[in-house]
């Protein structure tokens, strides 16, 4: 039984127990309906309490039911039944009250929460709007502006702030159940205060328009946010019941949208990447003391990520001057966390005095549980570091490299303990970006892999397992679609048009703006490193080399593809003549590309290489690729990732595109075997996503 009813004196107690997060599955909805009826019929109960067992109040509708035929009783009807009771009911909240969970609490007649509870309506992050009264009851309870902000931001509101807003009536002092029973005792005999009966606030068209204008930028391309604003606004002038019907229709329309399917795929994929048969039941190694080698942007970011998660960190630099610089960088990044409200100032001071130190001697790492190397990206340098680590690290310490391309097997060979060596590929800035590629080398021990995943959980990052190859999952796919966009520039497209087309598709940034941000020296050095292995038919982006040679390294020099100053980045009028010269030298007659073709070529290249990455086992499943591209490469979340997107287009259409492009260049455009096999078998990438929820 996921919902039970009992009586405590004159208070009826309804308890929901549906681990892990008390989601409102059909069984819970039916159980609530039944329990509400029992409470109504119980003449000795004069007020009621709804409680949740386990770690949290209800975290929302059961997302795994979405996309299937809806099953009765429907949540709005369950909540209406509770709100309509003629005896007051108190919702007792702990953990997180989210989505349908908060809507259930809004249908109760009073709300009490523990002080560290949080509540919110995150439906827009799933491509939906609150569909069980949230758009109608919340404005009545807390006012129009707070309601609109809560719904469109999906923010989780801490209990004290919720109390100030009037979202909850009381914060529990001590034990939640006792405090909720006491509140119910106070209310017993009184008429229930129904949120749906409260007057709606006055409309404010200017507020709604301003919010929609802002959302057009911050939630670019997404439909749920603006639909939610409309549902709230429309409801203000409708009787409550009609507002509920209007909300339901809007919710159902969003439920049928591809954006909803993509966002829910992303939600489950991000959880599925951690379910690895190889490490099921494997205990991670202890993880308290961490060593970081190298205090540049990456090393300092990794140190800060670890410090913010409560780890003790020793950072090694080559001399006292570099160590002092690293110390200052770490302090500055922590200051940034204080400014953004992520860290208390006093805690920053304690971290810097007690948990963080720099040193110039590897011997200072003798007690570290895990050491991450973030030094210059060259094999000889990495090998040297790992030889030194092998001498000082304690037995059982995990030795990790943060390389973004290099062969982790070779790095492991520099030690006498390859089973302890792993790749932990952080993304810059490492204390902000959520993605961590856990690169498993041939001899990496399962408990070392489990420790990599445990570290990610501790740092609140999403870990994805990757195999060893040049660039692992993300950078390997990136270099392939990068080659496709560079080829279009060589053939006549403008980098600015390419950036615009891909931003319009939904990418956070275009590839040339990204180059400027990363620094054109990075791409140049990668090309140098790979020059020896280059195939004669590989197309070299000579224009990028020219920019590098002119010292145009991107943002850091004020000029790259764009010109940077105080204003927004400007297009550079000198770029077009430079490109013309390069094309003339190569004997290329430039041609034009439509935005549609730019997107088709970029996506075909991305999907094709991603299919190879899955086909050769570098990524375990298509969903692992999606999670990497969503969290490390600015792929629009509402398109679900390249593999989910490709399934929606139809894999045959993508393969046809690749074959069409191959007519011009059959060296670059070779269809991946996996893609051909799936098309031949009438299957999709989703079919390979074993372990994901429906
Ligand atoms: C909604 O409510 C619509 C309504 O307005 C209208 C309806 C008519 N359903 O994240 P975790 C699973 S829309 C099913 O690792 P945490 C999750 O897959 C919903 N399953 O834990 C995982 O399973 P597994 C609005 C769910 O402690 C396990 O629970 N609500 C759901 O880091 C643990 O999850 C939301 O969007 C669900 N609703 O975080 C809230 N939620 O172990 C979504 C979780 O097999 N949930 N699971 O991989 C969350 O944000 C986080 O899960 C939460 C806990 C903060 C609750």
**What span, in angstroms and rounded, lies between the C-alpha atoms of 60 and 66?**
12
DSSP string, 501-523: HHHHHT-SS-HHHHHHHH-HHHH
Answer whether 130 contacts ligand 1 (Cβ < 6 A).
yes
User: For a pocket test of ligand 1, which of 2, 21, 104, 129 has the largest count of ligand atoms closer than 8 A to its C-beta?
Assistant: 21
Which of these CATH numbers, 3.30.300.30, 3.50.50.60, 3.20.20.60, 3.90.226.10, describes 3-256? Answer: 3.90.226.10
Nearest CA to ligand 1 atom 56: 59
DSSP strand pairing (110-113 vs 89-93):
parallel
> 593 CA distance to ligand 1 centroid (A)?
43
Answer whether 59 contacts ligand 1 (Cβ < 6 A).
yes
Cβ-based neighbours of 414, under 8 Å, separated by 6 or more: 382, 383, 384, 386, 387, 390
> 61 CA distance to ligand 1 centroid (A)?
8
> 268 CA distance to ligand 1 centroid (A)?
9
Three-state DSSP string of 360-425: CCHHHHCCCCEEEECCCCCHHHHHHHHHHHHHHCCCCCEEEECCCCCCHHHHHHCCCCHHHEEEEE
> 93 CA distance to ligand 1 centroid (A)?
16
**What span, in angstroms and rounded, lies between the C-alpha atoms of 131 and 252?**
8
> 627 CA distance to ligand 1 centroid (A)?
17
Please report which residue ranges of 466-509 form alpha helices under DSSP H. 474-491, 495-505
Angle, nearest 10°, between helix axes 474-491 and 511-518?
Answer: 120
Q: Read off the pLDDT of each residue in 177-199 and give the average, rounded to a whole number.
A: 97
Cross-strand partners of 50: 14, 91
Per domain, the residue ranges of the chain are 3-256, 287-466, 474-689
Give residue 552's pLDDT: 96
Cβ-based neighbours of 81, under 8 Å, separated by 6 or more: 33, 36, 37
**What span, in angstroms and rounded, lies between the C-alpha atoms of 676 and 608?**
10
* Class for the domain spanning 287-466: alpha beta
Q: Is 123 a known active-site residue? A: yes
Answer whether 126 contacts ligand 1 (Cβ < 6 A).
yes
Q: Please, what is the average pLDDT of the chain?
A: 96
Cβ proximity of 555 and 518 under 8 Å: no
**What span, in angstroms and rounded, lies between the C-alpha atoms of 215 and 99?**
20
Give residue 68's pLDDT: 87
Q: Read off the pLDDT of each residue in 53-68 and give the average, rounded to a whole number.
A: 94
Q: Read off the pLDDT of each residue in 279-295 and give the average, rounded to a whole number.
A: 96
Q: Read off the pLDDT of each residue in 11-19 and give the average, rounded to a whole number.
A: 98
pLDDT tens digits for 311-346? 999 999 999 999 999 999 999 999 999 999 889 999
Answer whether 284 contacts ligand 1 (Cβ < 6 A).
no
Helix (H, G, I), strand (E, B) or coil at 291: strand
Determine if the peptide bond prior to 429 is cis (ω within 30°): yes
Closest of 300, 304, 295 to residue 360, by C-alpha = 295
Of all helices (H) and strands (E), which one includes residue 168?
none
Secondary structure letter of residue 64 according to DSSP: G
Q: 692 pLDDT exceeds 60?
A: no
Cβ-based neighbours of 443, under 8 Å, separated by 6 or more: 409, 412, 418, 419, 421
**What span, in angstroms and rounded, lies between the C-alpha atoms of 434 and 439?**
16
**What span, in angstroms and rounded, lies between the C-alpha atoms of 625 and 372?**
24
Cβ-based neighbours of 132, under 8 Å, separated by 6 or more: 61, 75, 76, 79, 100, 103, 104
> 341 CA distance to ligand 1 centroid (A)?
25
pLDDT tens digits for 515-573? 999 899 988 988 888 888 899 999 999 999 999 999 999 999 999 999 999 889 999 99
* Cα separations in angstroms, 583 against 150, 487, 543, 547: 52, 11, 9, 15
Give residue 290's pLDDT: 98
> 60 CA distance to ligand 1 centroid (A)?
7
Q: Which residues of 387-403 are buried (b: 16+ CB within 10 A; e: fewer)?
A: ebbbebbeeebbbbbbb
Give residue 693's pLDDT: 46
Strands (DSSP E) found in 195-333: 289-293, 312-316
Of all helices (H) and strands (E), which one includes residue 275?
none
Percent of residues, the chain, with pLDDT higher than 70: 99
Determine if the peptide bond prior to 586 is cis (ω within 30°): no
Counting atoms of ligand 1 from 1, which one is nearest the CA of 275?
Answer: 48
Counting atoms of ligand 1 from 1, which one is nearest the CA of 63?
Answer: 9
Percent of residues, the chain, with pLDDT higher than 90: 94
What's the full length of the chain, in residues? 694
Answer whether 23 contacts ligand 1 (Cβ < 6 A).
yes
Helix (H, G, I), strand (E, B) or coil at 315: strand
Domains 287-466 and 474-689 share a fold: no
Nearest CA to ligand 1 atom 51: 59
Indicate which residue of 38, 65, 72, 123 is catalytic: 123
Give residue 691's pLDDT: 56
Give the model's confidence band at 694: pLDDT under 50 very low, under 70 low, under 90 confident, else very high. Answer: very low
For the domain spanning 474-689, the CATH number is 1.10.1040.50
Q: 168 pLDDT exceeds 50?
A: yes
pLDDT tens digits for 571-586? 999 999 999 999 999 9
pLDDT tens digits for 124-142? 999 999 999 999 999 999 9
Residue pointed to by tokens 């979202």 = 167
Nearest CA to ligand 1 atom 5: 130
Check residue 43 and give left, alpha or beta (phi > 0: left; psi -120 to 50: alpha).
Answer: alpha
Residue pointed to by tokens 């919340």 = 138
Predicted structure pTM score = 0.94
pLDDT tens digits for 439-477? 999 999 999 999 999 999 999 999 999 999 989 999 999
**What span, in angstroms and rounded, lies between the C-alpha atoms of 313 and 302?**
10
Counting atoms of ligand 1 from 1, which one is nearest the CA of 274?
Answer: 48
Q: Which two tokens stand for residue 659?
A: 């074959």
Q: Read off the pLDDT of each residue in 153-157 and give the average, rounded to a whole number.
A: 97
Q: Which two tokens stand for residue 602?
A: 């970029």
**What span, in angstroms and rounded, lies between the C-alpha atoms of 2 and 214?**
42
**What span, in angstroms and rounded, lies between the C-alpha atoms of 50 and 93?**
9
Indicate which residue of 17, 65, 103, 186 is catalytic: 103
Q: Read off the pLDDT of each residue in 395-424 and give the average, rounded to a whole number.
A: 96
Nearest CA to ligand 1 atom 55: 96
Cross-strand partners of 291: 314, 371
């Amino acid at each position: 039984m996921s919902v039970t009813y009992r009586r405590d004196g004159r208070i009826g107690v309804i308890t929901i127990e549906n681990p892990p997060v008390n989601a409102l599955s059909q069984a819970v909805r039916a159980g609530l309906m039944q329990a509400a009826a029992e409470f109504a019929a119980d003449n000795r109960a004069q007020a009621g309490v709804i409680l949740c067992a386990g770690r949290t109040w209800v975290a929302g509708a059961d997302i795994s039911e979405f996309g299937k035929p809806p099953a009765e009783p429907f949540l709005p009807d369950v909540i209406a039944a509770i709100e309509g009771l003629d005896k007051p009911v108190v919702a007792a909240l702990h953990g997180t009250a989210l989505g349908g969970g908060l809507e259930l609490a809004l249908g109760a007649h009073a709300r009490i929460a523990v002080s560290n509870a949080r509540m919110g309506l995150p439906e827009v992050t799933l491509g939906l709007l609150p569909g069980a009264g949230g758009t109608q009851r919340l404005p009545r309870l807390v006012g129009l502006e707070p309601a609109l902000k809560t719904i469109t931001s999906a923010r989780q509101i801490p209990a004290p702030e919720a109390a100030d807003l009037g979202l909850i009536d009381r914060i529990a002092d001590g034990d939640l159940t006792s405090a909720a029973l006491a509140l119910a005792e106070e209310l017993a005999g009184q008429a229930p205060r129904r949120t749906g009966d409260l007057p709606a606030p006055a409309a404010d068209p200017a507020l709604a328009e301003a919010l929609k204008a802002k959302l057009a930028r911050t939630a670019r391309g997404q439909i749920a946010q603006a639909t939610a604003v409309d549902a709230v606004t429309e409801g203000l002038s409708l009787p409550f019941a009609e507002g509920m019907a209007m909300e339901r229709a809007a919710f159902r329309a969003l439920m049928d949208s591809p954006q909803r399917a993509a966002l829910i795929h992303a939600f489950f994929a991000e959880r599925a990447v951690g379910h690895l048969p190889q490490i099921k039941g494997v205990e991670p190694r202890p993880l308290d003391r961490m060593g970081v080698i190298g205090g540049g942007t990456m090393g300092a970011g990794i140190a800060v990520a670890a410090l913010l998660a409560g780890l003790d960190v020793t950072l090694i630099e080559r001399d006292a001057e570099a160590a002092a610089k690293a110390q200052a960088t770490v302090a500055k990044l922590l200051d940034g966390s204080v400014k953004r409200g992520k860290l208390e100032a006093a805690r920053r001071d304690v971290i810097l005095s007690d948990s963080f130190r720099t040193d110039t001697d590897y011997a200072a790492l003798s007690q570290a549980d895990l050491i991450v190397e973030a030094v210059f990206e060259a094999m000889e340098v990495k090998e040297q570091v790992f030889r030194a680590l092998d001498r000082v690290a304690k037995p059982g310490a995990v030795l990790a490299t943060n390389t973004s391309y290099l062969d982790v097997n070779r790095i492991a060979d520099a030690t006498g303990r390859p089973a302890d060596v792993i790749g932990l590929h952080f993304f810059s800035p490492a204390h902000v970006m959520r993605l961590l590629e856990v690169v498993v080398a041939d001899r990496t021990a399962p408990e070392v892999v489990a420790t990599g995943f445990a570290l990610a959980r501790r740092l609140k990052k999403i870990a994805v397992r990757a195999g060893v190859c040049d660039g692992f999952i993300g950078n390997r796919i990136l270099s392939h679609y990068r080659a496709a966009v560079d080829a279009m520039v060589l053939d006549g497209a403008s980098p600015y048009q390419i950036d615009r087309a891909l931003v319009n598709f939904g990418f956070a940034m275009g590839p040339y703006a990204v180059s400027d941000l990363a620094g054109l020296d990075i791409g140049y050095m990668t090309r140098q490193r790979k020059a020896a292995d280059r195939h004669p038919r590989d197309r070299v982006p000579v224009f990028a080399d020219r920019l590098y040679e002119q010292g145009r390294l991107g943002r850091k020099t004020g000029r790259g593809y764009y010109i940077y100053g105080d204003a927004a980045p400007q297009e550079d009028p000198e770029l077009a003549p430079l490109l013309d010269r390069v094309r003339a030298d190569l004997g290329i007659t430039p041609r034009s590309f439509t935005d549609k073709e730019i997107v088709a070529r970029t996506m075909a290249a991305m999907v094709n290489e991603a299919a190879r990455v899955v086909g050769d086992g570098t990524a375990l499943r298509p969903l692992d690729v999606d999670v990497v591209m969503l969290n490390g490469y600015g792929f629009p979340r509402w398109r679900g990732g390249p593999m989910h997107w490709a399934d929606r287009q139809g894999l045959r259409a993508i393969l046809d595109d690749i074959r069409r492009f191959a007519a011009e260049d059959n060296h670059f455009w070779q269809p991946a075997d996996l893609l051909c096999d799936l098309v031949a078998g009438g299957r999709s990438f989703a079919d390979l996503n074993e372990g994901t929820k429906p």
